[in-house]
Amino acid sequence: MVLKQFFVGARREQAVIGGIKKHIELLCSACETFKLALKAGDRNRMRLVPEMEREGDIIRRGIISLIYEGAFLPYLRPNLCRFVEVVDDVFDCLQETAQHSLNITVPEQLLGECVRVAHLNHRMCEMLLFTFETTMEGKDLREKALAVRIYEKKIDDIKIGILKDARKIPVASFWEGESLSNFLSGLTNISNIIEDATDSLQIINVSMR
Amino acid sequence: MWKVSSGLFLGWSLGANHTGNVFGTGVATGVVTYRTAIWLTALYILLGALLEGPKCMNVVGTLSHLSTLDAFACALAAAITMTVLTFLGLPASTSHAIIGAITGIGIFTGSADFAKLYRIVVCWVLTPVSGLVFAYTLQKVLSFLLDFAVPSLTLRNFIYSVGIIISGCYAAYSLGGNSVANVTGVYVSAGMLSVQDATLFGGLSIAMGTLTYSRKVMLSVGKGIVPLDPFSAMVAVLAEAATLHLFTQLGVPVSSSQAIVGALVGVGLVKDSRTVSRTMLVRIGVGWLCTPVAAGVIVLLLVKLASAGTGSPIFF
């Protein structure tokens, strides 16, 4: 009975790891889709982002079910679930930003920088995937965590420039202004949440040493 | 044979109270269910009692000369002491209680072997120290080996799961081997039981205590140790088991509670030296002093009562 528990548990753990990888890979695809849609002004492509977010929700529920069905030591489960939830927060922020972008036309003065931020967000997601794989292998996370922080710092610097330029742009109404503000806010907040996800991985790594 | 009943009751209460130190971590961390834990504990306690139990019987049995009624009174006094001190919230050790009771009788009859008693007391003092040293060393060595050879998270998870079960089984085996003499050693001294029968009946009584009444203590002790990460919890139980096993080879029954306290301090020292507290040291000291003294006083009262009841002196 105890041996059976171990073998089934090991399969569940592999399934959880596979699920989390798939979740992050989908996030990377969503970020890339967002970037390409924003660059080309392709609204149809932008509408794919909320669909991907829903798919991400399904994967997330599956992962959490598997975790609490018996994968990993109970000591580790809350940390793993926390990580999965933070990745889902990135998805949610990306989806909201995509929705806001559908309500506005991004001004030409800001488009270039916004695309640059979207590109950096995509790179951060890829780095998050590498960091997760490194955590599972038990290797040192410092370099990858540092890379994520560097990207986040770059985005923070671009954000200052974007907000400065945004103040010079006239808006036709309060709601247009608000939509633009929410879009810019969401776009620059994605990197903060990805950084939080990297910190969660660091906690998981340290807790098992 | 009714005189054996007090020892069996002592064994049952030992099983109910002390097995929390063995599999508390495993149950509280969810690695094993409570049901699996108690059956594994009972099995390995019995194995330990049968295979290693005779080693401590000699020391307990020859500490003083005991009559059959004295043996009954000693076990009963130890059981009462454990109950009262537990009720008062003071740490209580079965080995301290039974040795205190036997020594009480021995002092009164003039048959106490103080050389053996001195050896036993030295081992009691060394018990938490031994737990500390084992835990510190194991934590350092195993941590290095795991970092070097097992970096993968999933493999570590598996090793910790298996390790918690193995260390729990080893701790149960050591507990059985070290503690059975506390339960039935007095009857060997009094000539009521052979060593083999004493280890069998004692082991069974401890196992029954585990199977029937250990749930509450197992869960509360486990939660106390659970704030440790799985690796440290596994190391602490392993160190406790090694300490009990060591003193079993020396033939001296010692306190499993103090072994685990020493082990927890040792584990804490590797990461943070501020785990040693004055309160903890005072509680250990109080346990050392109160338990044997209380048991000695109670056994003398029991014997006096029996004497008064029958109208004639009970021992010579």
DSSP state string for B279-309: HHHHHHHHHHHHHHHHHHHHHHHHHHHHHHH
**Which residues of chain B have a CB within 8 Å of the CB of A203?**
none
Instruction: Give the pLDDT mean for B127-143.
Output: 94
pLDDT at B172: 95
pLDDT tens digits for range B74-125:
888 988 888 887 777 666 788 888 999 999 888 888 888 888 888 888 998 8
pLDDT at A28: 97
End-to-end CA distance of chain B: 22
Q: Which of residues 109-148 of A touch B (CB under 8 A)?
A: 135-139
pLDDT exceeds 70 at position B63: yes
Q: For residue B139, give the chain A residue with the closest CA.
A: A209
d(CA B32, CA B44): 15
pLDDT tens digits for range A134-153:
999 888 889 999 999 999 99
pLDDT band at A209 (very low <50, low <70, confident <90, very high): confident
Domain that holds residue B300: 2-310
pLDDT at B91: 64
Distance of CA B241 to the CA centre of its chain: 10
Q: How many beta carbons lie within 10 A of that of residue B182, not counting itself? A: 28
B151–A13 CB contact, under 8 Å: no
CATH for A2-207, options being 3.30.420.40, 1.20.58.220, 3.40.50.670, 2.40.50.140: 1.20.58.220
| B32: contact with A, CB 8 A cutoff | yes
pLDDT band at B67 (very low <50, low <70, confident <90, very high): confident
Instruction: Give the pLDDT mean for B151-164.
Output: 89
- Long-range contact list for A107-116, CB < 8 A, 24+ apart? A107/A166, A107/A169, A107/A180, A109/A165, A109/A168, A109/A169, A110/A162, A110/A165, A110/A166, A110/A169, A110/A184, A111/A38, A113/A158, A113/A161, A113/A162, A113/A165, A114/A38, A114/A162, A114/A184, A114/A187, A115/A35, A115/A38, A115/A39, A116/A158
Burial class for B51, CB neighbours closer than 10 Å (0-12, 13-18, 19+): middle
**Looking up tokens 């503690």, which residue turns up?**
B179
Six-digit token string for A164: 């400065």
pLDDT tens digits for range A51-65:
999 999 999 999 999
pLDDT at A25: 97
B161–A73 CB contact, under 8 Å: yes
Q: Is residue B315 part of a domain?
A: no
pLDDT band at B226 (very low <50, low <70, confident <90, very high): very low
d(CA B108, CA B73): 14
Give the mean pLDDT of chain B: 85
pLDDT exceeds 90 at position A199: yes
A2–B156 CB contact, under 8 Å: no
Q: Which residue has the higher pLDDT, B142 or B261?
A: B142
Query: If we measure between CA atoms, which residue out of B218, B180, B178, B172 comes closest to residue B200?
Result: B180
Six-digit token string for B38: 């108690």
**Which residues of chain A have a CB within 8 Å of the CB of B158?**
6, 10
Q: pTM score, two decimals?
A: 0.83
Work out the minimum CA distance from A152 to partner chain B, whole angstroms: 27
Q: Is residue B33 part of a domain?
A: yes
pLDDT band at B52 (very low <50, low <70, confident <90, very high): very high
Q: What is the largest CA-CA distance in chain B?
A: 73
Work out the minimum CA distance from B128 to partner chain A, whole angstroms: 25
| B162: contact with A, CB 8 A cutoff | yes
Q: Is residue B208 part of a domain?
A: yes
Q: How many domains does chain B have?
A: 1
Query: If we measure between CA atoms, which residue out of B122, B249, B101 comes closest to residue B189?
Result: B101
pLDDT exceeds 70 at position A67: yes
